[in-house]
Amino acid sequence: MTFDQSTRSRTSTVTRTRYTTEHTQAGVAVARGAAAWAVVHSGTTAAVAWCRRTITPTGWLAAILVAVVLPLGAWWGWAEWVSAGLVAGILIVGAVLFVLGRRSYEVDLGLLRERVVAGDEAFGGVTVRNVGQRTALPSRVEIPMGDSVGLVDVPLLRAGQEHSERVPLPTAQRAVVPVGPVRAVRSDPLGLVRLEKTWHRRYALYVHPRTVPIPSTSAGLIRDLEGNPTRTIADADISFHALREYAPGDSLRHIHWKATAKTGVPMVRQFEETRRSRMALVLSCRAAEYADAEEYELAVSLAGSLGTRALQDGRNLDLVVPQDVPEAARRLLRGVRRLPTVTVRTMLDGLSAVAASENAGRLAESCELTAQSTPGLSIAFLLCGSTVSLRELRTASLKFPENVTVVAVVADPQSVPQVRVAAGMAVITVPLLTDLRHLLLRGGRS
């Protein structure tokens, strides 16, 4: 290798090394820049989110006064604008100082009763404890309860002290009321800044519909505890029907020996098939089938009363409500859902959540689907409002088999209590919930 070639080789090596070093340094600089941008971006995002959570609309107005009005007033020499900006700035500083500091609270929330009847009182118990080492300034605890918010004013608490208070819960209307999560709120007197700390525990308050007791001995329409005989003839049951000649395969224990001795031909007993009462309550949830919300609430209470009596008597019960299906898709999609009826409590829990809807299926559709999916029905109650005509009730009743007794219960607060037989079925008009008891008894006697 000559001198010139050796020099060029060393120069090329030095150039490649320098290029690699510069390339590496550039990559490191880009990586550091990206990391710095990520930190700045995340910090800015967190700061913006914190400002949105913390600064109230009044606080934003004060900030605008400081950022815009104060400079413009100083530029144009308007003393009023300058004064307004200075006052807003002083208020913001005071608000920030007011909410500074950490308050170590521990909040316990509990419901004294998780299930109540509409109109009864219910309370939630709130206990706020200062678990810190310093005295905590007064603050406020908010408890979301459905569409309302309960407030608890927490006084000054020294280390280890606690404050307990009962909060009334909304129980005027039947519903499932979500309670919680509890949040501790710190705010200045003018409401410029608001800091929150949330505890994520939630509860559900079940506000059951009002019901009336229906004694089994007086509920004439549903008084068949041991099952009713039907027109179906069976070879083995309880209710005796007639005698017939023996046929191969008949059980020998059903041979009637006295009749056999008289006729000289083996005779066996026949029975009328009996079956345990299976009741269906079909509750209309279509808003158009009720005149107003009062009628719908009355119908729900009637369903709860009938269902409670049936479950207490040990009957098999199906409580059926329609599903929400848009009108455009109703020709293709129809459906009903069954509320849980394992116990009276679960049934009333389900009724607490049902709501009237414009998209719910019609009563006749619900009856048709119920009849198709519920074999062995003995009696069906159709619960609806006053806007359902007698013709529509007749159409709905025809969806059930012939051996199923159909009773229509119409909630109509503007009518008079009456029981009538129309179109081959009993139609009971109930203006008040307390009228249900004697109307059922009258219907059983008619």
CB half-sphere exposure, 134, CA atoms < 13 A: 7
Count of C-beta atoms within a 10 Å radius of residue 394: 17
Give the integer Cα–Cα distance in Å for 315 and 194. Answer: 56
Query: Of 291, 286, 302, 292, nearest to 336 (Cα)?
Result: 286
- What number of CA atoms fall less than 13 Å from residue 440's CA on the CB side? 23
Q: How far apart are CA 227 and CA 244, in angstroms?
A: 25
Specify the pLDDT at position 9.
55
Which pLDDT value is given to residue 242? 74
Residue 149 pairs in a beta bridge with 144
Convert the chain into a string of H (helix), E (strand) and C (coil).
CCHHHHHHHHHHHHHHHHHHHHHHHHHHHHHHHHHHHHHHHHHHHHHHHHHHHHECHHHHHHHHHHHHHHHHHHHHCCHHHHHHHHHHHHHHHHHHHHHCCCCCEEEEEEECCCEEECCCCCEEEEEEEECCCCCECCEEEEEEECCEEEEEEECCECCCCEEEEEEECCCCCCEEEEECCCEEEEECCCCCEEEEEECCCCEEEEEECCCCCCCCCCCHHHCCCCCEEEEEEECCCCEEEEEEECCCCCCHHHECHHHHHHHCCCEEEEEEEEECCEEEEEECCEHHHCCCHHHHHHHHHHHHHHHHHHHHCCCEEEEEEECECCHHHCCCCCCEEEECCCCHHHHHHHHHHCCCECCECCHHHHHHHHHHHCCCCCEEEEEEECCCCHHHHHHHHCCCCCCCEEEEEEECCCCCCEEEEECCEEEEEECCHHHHHHHHHHHHHC
Domains along the chain with CATH numbers: 22-99 (no CATH), 105-208 (2.60.40.10), 232-273 (no CATH), 278-445 (3.40.50.410)
The rounded average pLDDT for each run of 10 residues, N- to C-terminus, in the chain (446 residues) is: 51 54 64 78 77 79 85 85 86 79 80 93 92 83 90 88 93 94 83 82 94 66 44 49 78 80 84 68 96 96 94 90 77 82 95 93 93 89 95 94 91 93 87 91 61
Q: Determine the pLDDT at residue 237.
A: 46
Cis peptide before 248 (omega within 30 of 0): no
Please give the pLDDT value at position 259.
82
Spatial distance between the Cα atoms of 308 and 190, rounded to a whole number of angstroms: 53
pLDDT in the model for residue 3? 45
Partner residues linked to 278 by β-bridges: 316
What residues have CB less than 8 Å from 342, skipping those under 6 apart? none
> Where does residue 28 rank: exposed (0-12), middle (13-18), buried (19+ CB within 10 A)?
exposed
Tell the burial category of 22 from Cβ atoms under 10 Å away from its Cβ (0-12, 13-18, 19+). Answer: exposed
- Strands, sheet with 105-111, edge to edge from the N-terminal-most edge strand: 105-111, 123-130, 162-168
Do residues 399 and 366 make contact, with C-beta atoms less than 8 angstroms apart?
no
Count the Cβ atoms, other than its own, within 10 Å of residue 150.
20
